[in-house]
Amino acid sequence: MHIFLHAFAVTSIAMSTPEPSQAKTATPATPPNPHKALVLFSGGQDSATCLAWALDRYAHVETIGFDYGQRHSVELKCRGEVLASIRAAFPVWADRLGEDHMLDLGILGQISDTAMTREQEIVFEKSGLPSTFVPGRNLMFFMFAAAIAYRRGLSVLVGGMCETDYSGYPDCRDNTLKALQVAVSLGLDAPMVVETPLMWLTKAQTWDLAHNLGGTDLVERIRTQTHTCYLGDRSTLHDWGYGCGKCPACELRASGYAEYVGGKDSVVAQ
């Protein structure tokens, strides 16, 4: 039993460490990993980047989204546009992109009293966490994703969680997801690898990863087609994408994009 647990833990540690940038093409130089992956895909920037990351590596990739009673459905509407766009623009990835799954987790919204599931002001709670934290959300997402993956013969779960530029959510932390990988694998009696390619990346590095994977074409599609704004504002297209420009998610996305563009400009100037 100890050997079994150790094997899963080591796999998680290895997979959570950022890898060197790939060539700026959607056609990798090496054959894809034969394992099949399921990407937690919300329609936002991070999950779209993770989708590209998975498509660049795995022979078969499926996606899963969750309607959990969030205060707006903008991201969910963006999901289909992003998936169709990737299929049209990246033929190699299109051949690997499989079925999309959408699950109704409305019960989570019913038991949650947060700024993500109610029309509430975004504030910091006594716990130090922002009121956008939905307790148990990512844990539930991974558990349901694992159930789908098990049924469909998929052994890799990919999520856009990050412990660098983030709001402090405990279910986004590396240790949480390592423990979850072990629990899921034991509970299903089947190895499940939880991949978090953005775990140690800043938001600027996340933009850069998208560029490394699919060039300016992918970056532009993520900029204009994905959605991150907590308030669901899609009335104004900023340099960094759509959003209110004031909520924590917009501020983080905007500052990361500015840093990313600034870095590209510096390279060109040299």
- pLDDT tens, position by position, 56-71: 999 999 999 999 877 7
More confident residue, 111 or 136: 136
Angle at 165 between CA 85 and CA 52, to 5 degrees: 25
Q: Are 25 and 215 in contact (CB under 8 A)?
A: yes
Q: Are 43 and 76 in contact (CB under 8 A)?
A: yes
Statement: residue 114 has pLDDT above 90? no
pLDDT 10s digits, 153-194: 999 999 999 998 767 888 899 999 999 999 999 999 999 999
Q: What is the reported pLDDT for 189?
A: 97
d(CA 103, CA 134): 17
Q: What is the reported pLDDT for 18?
A: 41
Q: Are 259 and 202 in contact (CB under 8 A)?
A: yes
Q: Write down the pTM of the prediction.
A: 0.83
- When pLDDT is averaged across residues 4-19 and rounded to a whole number, the result is 40
- Give the chain's mean pLDDT: 85
- When pLDDT is averaged across residues 251-263 and rounded to a whole number, the result is 95
Q: What is the reported pLDDT for 1?
A: 41
More confident residue, 17 or 144: 144
- When pLDDT is averaged across residues 120-141 and rounded to a whole number, the result is 76
Q: Pairing relation of β-strands 193-195 and 156-158?
A: parallel
